[in-house]
Amino acid sequence: CYLYRSDPNDVARVEHLTFVCTRSREDAGPNNHWMDPAEAHRKIDGLFEGAMRGRTLYVVPYCMGPIDSPHARCGVQLTDSPYVVLNMQIMTRMGEQALRRIEEGETFVKGLHSTGDLNPDRRFIMHFPEELSIKSFGSGYGGNALLGKKCHALRIASWQAREEGWLAEHMLIMGVQTPRGRTHYIAAAFPSACGKTNLAMLVPPVSMRGWKIWTLGDDICWMHVGADGQLRAINPEAGYFGVVPGTNANTNPNAYEMIRRDTIFTNVALTEDREPWWEGLEHGTPTIDWQGRAYLQQNGPAAHPNARFTVAAKNNPVYSGAAEDPQGVPISAILFGGRRREVAPLVYEARNCAHGVLLGAGMASETTAAAVGATGVVRRDPMAMKPFCGYHFGDYWNHWLSFEARSSRLPRVFHVNWFRQDLEGRYLWPGFGDNLRVLQWIVERCEDRAGARETPIGFVPRAEDLALQGLNLEAAQLEALLSVDAAAWHREATAIGKYLDEFGPRTPERL
């Protein structure tokens, strides 16, 4: 394993310095920072002038998706960062195979990157969707510098996907294998800090013997309508760039196992034995903090809260070989979810495709206020794509709705919320491995084998529809988890309507 320390001013994505540069400002939409392409090129090219003098230039041809897949897309990144090269080698299919695809005439995304002088005032991440190009200057951090990840695989790819009739989404892909041996593939979108990686690598509880979970991806999902009319998905990435604090043998045993070897750690602490350490690790003591200083408690956390691991997907003990299928896997269900202490029940199913798009468009997470019982601030994050959609959200929702006409075999759509709390602030649902009980209901709904009650917001399971054996849940807890408060939902629907109105006339009337 290896440790990399970034500059203390360069530790996260910089959304306020991330621009989508389309010829028409309207096309970028209010969900993006926009700059005129000519002005953007002029501004960033001036910064690039002479920036790599005396440095090594690396040319990185890469492929997003299985190398032999017709649904994969290629790119070439020029960079002066060895850290970027090593991460791209893990995160993408990089090198000769990708170059061969490009040489055969495939369109590719052009990426130019320099760490520059790491000055936060001279830092920009520019996307030019109409030119299929990206220019990033002044940061060496993952999302800003590994151009295959959010820049290419979401912002540029979402634009390409609309033009070409597919979807580029901020979603995990997992396989849920039933005791009867049938595997359903699920794609799920959650905002940050809602447990996407943990769900993708879930370990079934002891009481659910015979169920298995397979990981295909934990972050990005490209979906297209297959020859059979089903929505099929590939994971464009070949590795994981995950947040490491909080990861241990209990919270995510599979992730913990896979990062024990062949891993690049970014901004973690070190123990006396030069072992990596982070908050949430259940053994060891930090002696050197993430900035390379002797660890002192008064300096704050030993590892940066956004410390990362980069590791090959194949290191995951439950990695699915189906992730290499060039045609992708058929998606049975799409899940949307957020962190809501109230309002949203544990799980509910949309009535139809258009209703499913509304569930995604109205997705939100709640920041809990310090005072117990006070409602948190609700932040909307449609389809978990707010920082990543490369064009106007109104056009994006219209594109989602267009799939009704493309296929009669679309996945069912569900909304989940693992984070319901009681009035004292205690979580009502145990979460982690027990989330498989909800996934069981979802796959059985896909097989038309599970019951539900119809409510104003969609189909909600009754207590008897869920596999609750081995769980110590009180009746009142269960009732609260599955309740639909009409007054609260009137307020929620009004709030969603106001949010959609912010995107103006391009917002689909149907929503």
In this prediction, residues 166-194 reach a mean pLDDT of 96
For residues 232 and 223, is the Cβ–Cβ distance under 8 A?
yes
Find the largest Cα–Cα distance for the chain.
Answer: 69
194 is catalytic: yes
Type of residue at 25: R
Provide CATH 2.170.8.10 ranges for the chain: 245-315
Check residue 415 and give its pLDDT: 99
| Tokens at 146, concatenated | 């590994």
Provide CATH 3.90.228.20 ranges for the chain: 172-238+322-506
Residue 371 has pLDDT above 60, yes or no: no
Q: Which CATH class is domain 172-238+322-506?
A: alpha beta
Instruction: Give the torsion through C-alpha atoms of 462, 463, 465, 470, to 10 deg.
Output: 160
Check residue 375 and give its pLDDT: 54
Provide CATH 3.40.449.10 ranges for the chain: 2-165
Residue 150 has pLDDT above 90, yes or no: yes
Residue 194's pLDDT band (cuts 50, 70, 90):
confident
Check residue 246 and give its pLDDT: 94
Name the CATH architecture for the domain at 2-165. Answer: 3-Layer(aba) Sandwich (3.40)
Check residue 367 and give its pLDDT: 64
- Give the whole-angstrom CA distance, residue 234 versus residue 388: 18
Instruction: Give the torsion through C-alpha atoms of 488, 491, 493, 498, to 10 deg.
Output: -160
Q: How many residues does the chain have?
A: 511
Q: Catalytic: which of 21, 63, 151, 194?
A: 194
What are the φ/ψ torsions at residue 187 (nearest 5 degrees)?
A: -110, 140
Check residue 368 and give its pLDDT: 46
Check residue 370 and give its pLDDT: 34
Domain 245-315, CATH number (from 2.170.8.10, 3.90.1150.10, 3.40.190.10, 1.10.600.10):
2.170.8.10
Check residue 305 and give its pLDDT: 94
In this prediction, residues 433-451 reach a mean pLDDT of 98
- Mark residue 448 as left, alpha or beta (left: phi above 0; alpha: psi -120 to 50; beta: remaining): left
CA angle 364, 368, 371 (to 5 degrees): 150
DSSP 8-state class, residue 148 = I
